[in-house]
Amino acid sequence: MSDTADLYQALIMQRSRAPRFAGRLECFDAEAQGDNPMCGDRVHVFLRHQDTQVAHESRGCAIMSASADLMAEAVAGKSAEDVAALHAAFEAVVTTGQANPELGDLNALAGVSEYRSRIRCATLPWSALARALNGVESHG
């Protein structure tokens, strides 16, 4: 494994074991859930539109948990349009395996492109966030 791959693997494990954005936001106005019946992953995303703050409750594999946590960090303070662009860029990274310098730590998940069944694990939190942003599921 290359040094970069080792660092990315360590980041995935770190963020899945000790997530920085786990739990519910104290105040949120939208939420959405995602389930992957193929592997048992479940994620619940909480969103506060005003300042685009995101938190998550995740249960499942390290890839999904790390993706949820890295996503929450990456989208903080961004506009809905910027979040949609990040989502599209992230999906390109995990399906092609080609890193995008603009995505920073999200590139740690590029390696899932080699395992088609794991792509859904990485994109599940993003799909839930998109539903919350679009008002498909909401709170209050």
Number of C-alpha atoms within 13 angstroms, CB side, residue 7? 7
The DSSP element (H or E) to which 33 belongs, if any, is: strand 30-36
Relative orientation angle of helices 62-75 and 3-17, to the nearest 10 degrees:
90
Please tell me the pTM assigned to this model: 0.93
Dihedral-angle region of residue 43 (phi above 0 means left; psi in -120 to 50 means alpha; beta otherwise): beta
Residue in this structure with the two tokens 């799909």, named with its chain if needed: 127
Residue of 100, 99, 103, 52 whose CA lies nearest to 78: 52
Q: How confident is the model at residue 135 (pLDDT cuts 50, 70, 90)?
A: confident
Domains and CATH numbers, the chain: 3-133 (3.90.1010.10)
Residue in this structure with the two tokens 């539109």, named with its chain if needed: 49
Q: How confident is the model at residue 6 (pLDDT cuts 50, 70, 90)?
A: confident
**Residue 41 near residue 60, CB atoms below 8 Å:** yes
pLDDT in tens, 55-101: 999 999 999 999 999 999 999 999 999 999 999 999 999 999 999 99
